Amino acid sequence: MNCSPVLAVLVCVFCVSSAQPAADEITSLPGVSGPLSSRQYSGYLSASGTIKLHYWFVESERDPQNDPLVLWMNGGPGCSSLDGFLSELGPYQMNADGATLRANPFSWNQVANVIFLEAPAGVGFSYSDDKNYTTNDDETSKNNYLALLDFFTKFPNMASKPFFVTGESYGGVYVPTLSVRVMANASINFQGFAVGNGLLDRSLNQQTAVYYAYYHGILGEDVWAQLQKYCCTNGNCSFVTPPNAQCTQALATAQGIIFNSGLNPYDVTGNCAGGVPGTSTKRARKMFSYFFESLRMNPPQTKTMSWSFVSENVIPCINTTAETNYLNRPDVRMALHIPDVVPKWTVCSQIPYQPQYNSMHNQFIALLPKHRGLVYNGDADIMCNYLGDQKFVAALNRKMVGNRRPWIYDHQVAGFVQDYDQVSFMTVKDAGHMVPSFKPGASLQMISNFLSNKPQ
């Protein structure tokens, strides 16, 4: 029996639409007036054992059938990618009332289909039936990979699209470790990866943070003189492994100024949400200590990182009250298909996490011969500062392509870029740790050019 061309097209359209999980589709979203800007899905992806990772998938607003597929992961470790959705690069952003959303004209799904994955289990709405949330870098990458495979099972129409893994902060570990696993699967059309303000090398990050602090006016001459006297020999400084007790004390003083003075380490040029800590100084210091400890060279191997010292999990100096209130509304949870057994959403969660890697050098070396990479840094961030990531990329010893140059957005210098064979390093001027939040237009141009393999 012959089918008419029109009928054939209708059948194909039906096949594409039916290849997506109807039960996961978001039909309406509280706080959004009118229809959604593109088709969206929220549900769970199976990983190992009883682990179920929550995802929020938004189709491209431009051309979902032909645009690439991007996975986005926030860091922590232990912080939710829904923060990235609602405050950085998603199609909607939170209004201060915690009840309504506004359209984001610079969302990354202007140019790509985007998956926001909450990982590992215990983060955000992700959970495990056995409630065992102890994990590490390798376990996290394995479960993220298994969840990705389940995503392609749910969305087979996405399996052949050019695929990119992206993330920020501790995503500097999540992205490369997952990418290595993805690279080994020939059935995935893996093209490349991008890391923003990433923890790519603990030693370089810790070493350069001291220089960053001094040359940004955070450390005074007295502290700098002590550091030079006790930590440096003939211009070579050791801020990672102090050579003597005096250096250890000088570094402790510097660390106290950077992290305990009320400065916003995610944006040294900006304010700290809620003001400089007063009566809550001890609590704030503990939170900063947690983050700093997770960034240190040679993290403790005998204990895991935990948020157990705080009753309300927050990111220091960042106001997430509105999105926390919104995501815990019953009607929002229902719209996102979150089971009642899943606990309250927090931006960062109390999971016992064991870091395993001091550097992502080997992962980058394995990835770059066949896959493109982008490392970008907001230059106002000291937590994962641009100096450390710049040195990390240079140490990959890829062939330099052209000279370091400014890149332009909206007729203004948006930062600087150095291209190498298969990888580029970019700074984003006046941006803090969460680049898409600070510079949404510039970040959209940046990721669009990267996905299309166009010069920045």
Q: Which residue has the tokens 């895991």?
A: 304
- Could you confirm whether 433 is annotated as catalytic? yes
For residues 19 and 157, give the distance between their C-alpha atoms in angstroms, rounded to a whole number.
7
Which one-letter DSSP state was computed for residue 359?
B
Instruction: Indicate if the pLDDT at residue 303 is higher than 90.
Output: no
What does the pLDDT look like over 65-114, one tens digit per residue? 999 999 999 999 999 999 999 999 999 999 999 999 999 999 999 999 99
The residue type found at 140 is: T
- Could you confirm whether 381 is annotated as catalytic? yes
- Active-site entry in 137, 179, 389, 433: 433
The percentage of the chain sitting over the pLDDT mark of 90, rounded to a whole number, equals: 84
With beta carbons less than 8 A apart as the criterion, state whether 348 and 399 touch. no
Q: Is 251 helix (H, G, I), strand (E, B) or coil?
A: helix
- Nearest CA to 104 out of 89, 120, 121 is that of 89
Classified by CATH at the fold level, domain 23-200+356-451 comes out as Rossmann fold (3.40.50)
**Per 3-state DSSP, what percentage of the chain is helix, strand, and coil (rounded to 5)?**
35, 20, 45
Q: Which residue has the tokens 């923890």?
A: 199
Instruction: Indicate if the pLDDT at residue 451 is higher than 70.
Output: yes
The residue type found at 61 is: E
Beta bridge partners of 415: 407
Give just the sign of the alpha carbon dihedral 83, 414, 69, 51: negative
Give the chain's radius of gyration (CA, Å). Answer: 22
Query: pLDDT band at 274, cuts 50/70/90?
Result: confident
What does the pLDDT look like over 146-161, one tens digit per residue? 999 999 999 999 999 9
In sequence order, the 6+-apart residues with CB closer than 8 A to the CB of 239 are: 206, 207, 209, 210, 227, 231, 251
Long-range contacts of 238-242, Cβ-Cβ distance < 8 Å, separation of 24 or more: 239/206, 239/207, 239/209, 239/210, 240/203, 240/206, 240/207, 240/297, 241/297
Q: Is 73 helix (H, G, I), strand (E, B) or coil?
A: strand
- Active-site entry in 381, 389, 424, 437: 381
In sequence order, the 6+-apart residues with CB closer than 8 A to the CB of 257 are: 213, 218, 219, 223, 263
- Could you confirm whether 379 is annotated as catalytic? no
What value does the mean pLDDT of the chain take? 91
Q: Which residue has the tokens 């969460």?
A: 434
With beta carbons less than 8 A apart as the criterion, state whether 371 and 176 touch. no
* pLDDT, greater one: 290 or 216: 216
Residue 99, CA distances (Å) to 25, 29, 320, 449 in order: 21, 11, 13, 34
- Nearest CA to 85 out of 98, 76, 74, 77 is that of 74
Q: Which two tokens stand for residue 428?
A: 């984003």
Q: Where in the chain is the domain with CATH 3.40.50.1820?
A: 23-200+356-451
pTM (2 decimals)? 0.91
Q: Which residue has the tokens 């900006």?
A: 270
Give me the pLDDT at residue 268, please.
Answer: 97
Give me the pLDDT at residue 419, please.
Answer: 99
- Active-site entry in 42, 60, 126, 169: 169
